[in-house]
Structure 1
Amino acid sequence: MNEKTLSTPHLHAVAAPNDGWKMLLYKEVLRFWRVAFQTIAAPVLTAVLYLMIFGHVLSNRVQVYPGVSYVAFLVPGLVMMSVLQNAFANSASSLVQSKIMGNLVFTLLTPLTGWHWFVAYVGAAIARGLLVGLGVYLVTLLYAPPQAASVLWIAAFALLGAGLMGVLGLLAGLWADKFDQMAVFQNFIVMPMTFLAGVFYSIHSLPGLWQTLSHFNPFFYMIDGFRYGFFGVSDVSPWLSLAVAGGSFVVVSVVTLRLLKTGYKLRG
């Protein structure tokens, strides 16, 4: 939330209309990369602490899938949770910071379309989400052996999850005018839905009512489908998870692109 934001006057001076989105994407990637210790290393450390604490306490008491240790079960959930939360944080915090610091006007002066904004902000969010997820996965190899039943499923849900949360972050950034408003979105929507999506448990271990409610949480399908790529086992069909995650991405993208086209809360 305290990440640095780079000013963008060079976009108007240098970038041609067809190349402007590349400059904006570069600026957004550079923005989080220049403070990688905060934006990448810190989330990796947080996820590893979750693994150490929950794995140590429950490793000998819980076995969700036959032949899969609880620590191994945790790894995909923590990786995807990190991907989702950091993809959201990147696009949301960038846009809100630009509003507060006043340098958003330089981007508004460029001939960039709504599509250009969308691709640049969401693209950078995907990049950060995947980098953090990869970092978490590499560190967790110290605690659990690598498993991959289907690399394609893993890649599909990682990209789709990061993309969906990048769009949600962009939507939150458009709506929020200050960090307090963005924090409401993150703390009362993103965080609870992520933690209640089966990161630390299988929904089959929940009472009937909570199992039913879990099926209305799109985050559950992203995490469950991602976990299927590792073990070939999931709580619901990976095709259903793919359909729900893909449908959610399309719906949120259409809404966000519409708001970008109208300049919602961007042009006073």
Structure 2
Amino acid sequence: MNGFFTLVYKELLRFWKVGFQTVFAPMLSTLLYLLIFSHALGERVQAYPDVTYTVFLIPGLVIMAMLQNAFANSSSSLIQSIVSGTHVFMLLSPLSYQQIFAAYVLASMVRGLVVGLGIYMVTLGFFELPLYSFAWVFVFALMGTALLGALGIIAGIWAEKFEQLAALQNFVILPLTYLSGVFYTIPSLPPFWQGLSYLNPFFYMVDGFRYGFFRTSDVSPHLSLGALVACFLVVSWLTLRMLKVGYKIRQ
């Protein structure tokens, strides 16, 4: 277990040493989103009864930042070590592939949670945000960051250069998070786009997370949690399989 905790510590230290880039920069960009959208649409749009659009936005922006940073943590760490060749030291260690998986996912979860908590604490200084159930908020935060941390491992192993990883982030992860209901409710969309939104796993993360604040959601939080757990199990199985066979990392 000492090796596992060493790898976790190394991953935590890696992103914290450049905290202005990995923690404070995402916090600033998310707060800018909130400032711009609340100024432009705050008095014109109301998503939920008795909830201003600005307050409606906050949970969505928080979970969006958490997911993107959890993905970025594991994916960037792995591709950097693979490109530089330093990943061989991890492979030569007595760590099992399950421990490697758990260490990267855990570090990604910590980074995502730190960013999300920071944004939440700052917004509390300006807005009164209700909190219906801390348990629902915590569960969806944990499951969402864990899923994106696992996806980041797959991306970091698959990508052969930084351009491929950037393309995956810009053309897959970013659109899925933006189109997950962060800025709107799904029932406000035309039927065709509603159907597509229900196929987006990121929607269930955002909707379930928001339920913990407002006790209102587009679908049942139990359905969202079930969909999220199913996605995590599938992605985890694929990630563990890639690590076990050494896909692209033992060549």
For this structure pair, what is the TM-score category when the shorter chain's length is used for normalisation?
over 0.9
| Match in the other structure for 1:191 | 174
Structure-2 separation of matches of 1:255 and 1:35: 30
Deviations 1:67-95, CA, capped at 9 Å, x for gaps: 10101000000000000000000000000
| Match in the other structure for 1:40 | 23
Q: How does 1:100-179 map to 2 (within 5 A)?
A: 100-179=83-162
Structure-1 separation of matches of 2:61 and 2:126: 13
1:65 corresponds to which letter in structure 2? Y
| Match in the other structure for 2:249 | 266
Match of 1:246 among 218, 229, 234: 229
| Match in the other structure for 1:4 | none
Structure-2 separation of matches of 1:101 and 1:42: 25
Q: How does 1:3-14 map to 2 (within 5 A)?
A: none
Partner of 1:37, secondary structure, is helix
Aligned length: 251
**Displacement of 1:103 after TM fit?**
1.1
**Displacement of 1:183 after TM fit?**
1.1
Structure-2 separation of matches of 1:176 and 1:19: 29
2:66 aligned with 1:83? yes
2:80 aligned with 1:97? yes
2:214 aligned with 1:231? yes
Q: Which runs of 4+ in 1 moved over 4 A?
A: none
Structure-2 separation of matches of 1:166 and 1:147: 28
Structure-1 separation of matches of 2:163 and 2:125: 38
**Displacement of 1:102 after TM fit?**
1.7
**Displacement of 1:185 after TM fit?**
1.4
**Structure 1 vs Structure 2 CA RMSD:** 0.7
Q: How does 1:19-38 map to 2 (within 5 A)?
A: 19-38=2-21
1:250 corresponds to which letter in structure 2? L
| Match in the other structure for 1:15 | none
Structure-2 separation of matches of 1:158 and 1:52: 23
Deviations 1:206-257, CA, capped at 9 Å, x for gaps: 1110011000000000000000000000000000000011100000000100
Is the deviation greater in 173-182 or in 40-49? 173-182
**Displacement of 1:141 after TM fit?**
1.5
Partner of 1:111, secondary structure, is coil
2:59 corresponds to which letter in structure 1? P
1:62 corresponds to which letter in structure 2? V
**Displacement of 1:146 after TM fit?**
2.7
1:64 corresponds to which letter in structure 2? A
Structure-2 separation of matches of 1:208 and 1:118: 39
1:40 corresponds to which letter in structure 2? V
The alignment's TM-score, normalised by the length of structure 1, stands at 0.92
Whether the 8 Å contact between 1:71 and 1:143 is mirrored in structure 2 is: no
2:139 corresponds to which letter in structure 1? A
Match of 1:51 among 21, 31, 34: 34
**Displacement of 1:106 after TM fit?**
1.2
2:44 corresponds to which letter in structure 1? R
**Displacement of 1:188 after TM fit?**
1.0
Deviations 1:101-136, CA, capped at 9 Å, x for gaps: 221111111111110110110010000000000011
Structure-2 separation of matches of 1:194 and 1:107: 32
Q: Which runs of 5+ in 2 are unaligned?
A: none
Structure-2 separation of matches of 1:38 and 1:215: 33
Q: Which runs of 5+ in 1 are unaligned?
A: 1-17
| Match in the other structure for 2:48 | 65
Whether the 8 Å contact between 1:170 and 1:256 is mirrored in structure 2 is: yes
The alignment's TM-score, normalised by the length of structure 2, stands at 0.99
